[in-house]
Amino acid sequence: MKLATFKANGRTSYGAVTDGGIIDLGRKLAKYPTLLDLLRAQAIAEARAAAKGTADYQVKDVEMLPPILAPDKNICVGINYPDRSAEYKDGREAPKYPNLFCRFPTSLVGTEQPIVRPKVSDKFDYEGEIVLVIGKEGRHVPRESALSMIGGFTLGNEGSVRDWLRHGTLECHPGQEFRQVRQRRPLDGARPTSSIPAKPLRVMTRVNGELRQDDTTDRLTWGFAWLINYISTLRDAASPAI
């Protein structure tokens, strides 16, 4: 099931994206005001049952918003494909642990919304990303049960200001603060755990039709379960995007 947050006729809601359009679940399931409330209540089964009948809206007639409008935190993982380290050509050893950074919720925009290029730099770059939406709270989550924390998957096009990433010696926040992520598709609901894709996910990014990224998640340096376990030892794992 594909879930999305949208705005129609001045009203913000969320719904199930079907072949016929969008079924307004925010209206049908009023006890869950937002998609985040639905995920936290682990009510995907209720949403699936309600996602039947005639669509309330056509996708072309609504403004798509980021699936989660007010996440508690957005935790990002940098340089998680083995080839990315080689791109920097600085001779450093492969890292033992992932590079984590946070981003502000206000830096997220919806599908087809513009990403603003900061005027301080002309090195504004693309990045195709898989985004995990964590559907429930947890701390010190065991690796063997980590995938059960995932509420859904989406895709993002994340822009980076390359020449601001290394202004400081040990941090990259200035370059990340300029970042914006455009959500490129509805959230694929992934609960229960058995509905999490068994095959590796493929990430492809094209710039003006030219293929720039093409990789699969089985090549990640740190896989989803490893990351959820690791990050949840640092802080509560509620609703980050990874």
Is the same domain home to 198 and 158?
yes
Q: Judge whether residue 19 has pLDDT over 80.
A: yes
Is the same domain home to 82 and 188?
yes
Is the same domain home to 44 and 86?
no
Residue 240 maps to a domain: no
pLDDT at 195: 45
- Give, in order, the Cα–Cα distances in Å from 96 to each of 79, 136, 230: 12, 28, 12
Q: Is the pTM of this model over 0.75?
A: yes
pLDDT above 70 covers a percentage of the chain that reads 79
Q: Judge whether residue 12 has pLDDT over 90.
A: yes
Range of the domain at 42: 2-65
Q: Judge whether residue 242 has pLDDT over 50.
A: no
Are the beta carbons of 5 and 108 closer than 8 angstroms? no
Residue ranges in the chain assigned as alpha helix (H): 25-28, 35-40, 44-50, 82-88, 173-177, 224-234
Categorize the per-residue pLDDT at 193 as very low, low, confident or very high, splitting at 50, 70 and 90: very low
Q: Judge whether residue 175 has pLDDT over 80.
A: no
Could you report the per-residue pLDDT of 135-153, keeping only the tens digit for each?
A: 888 899 999 999 999 988 8
Which helix (DSSP H) or strand (DSSP E) does residue 160 occupy?
Answer: strand 160-161
Please count the structural domains in the chain.
Answer: 2
Measure the CA–CA gap between 138 and 116, rounded to whole angstroms. 34
Is the same domain home to 138 and 81?
yes
Could you report the per-residue pLDDT of 59-114, keeping only the tens digit for each?
A: 999 999 999 988 888 898 988 988 755 555 566 677 888 888 888 888 888 888 88
Is the same domain home to 100 and 193?
yes
Residue 184 maps to a domain: yes
Residue 16 maps to a domain: yes
Measure the CA–CA gap between 35 and 224, rounded to whole angstroms. 22
Nearest by Cα to 149 from 221, 73, 225, 44: 225
- The residue whose two tokens read 């087809």 is 112
Is the same domain home to 104 and 184?
yes
Residue 156 maps to a domain: yes
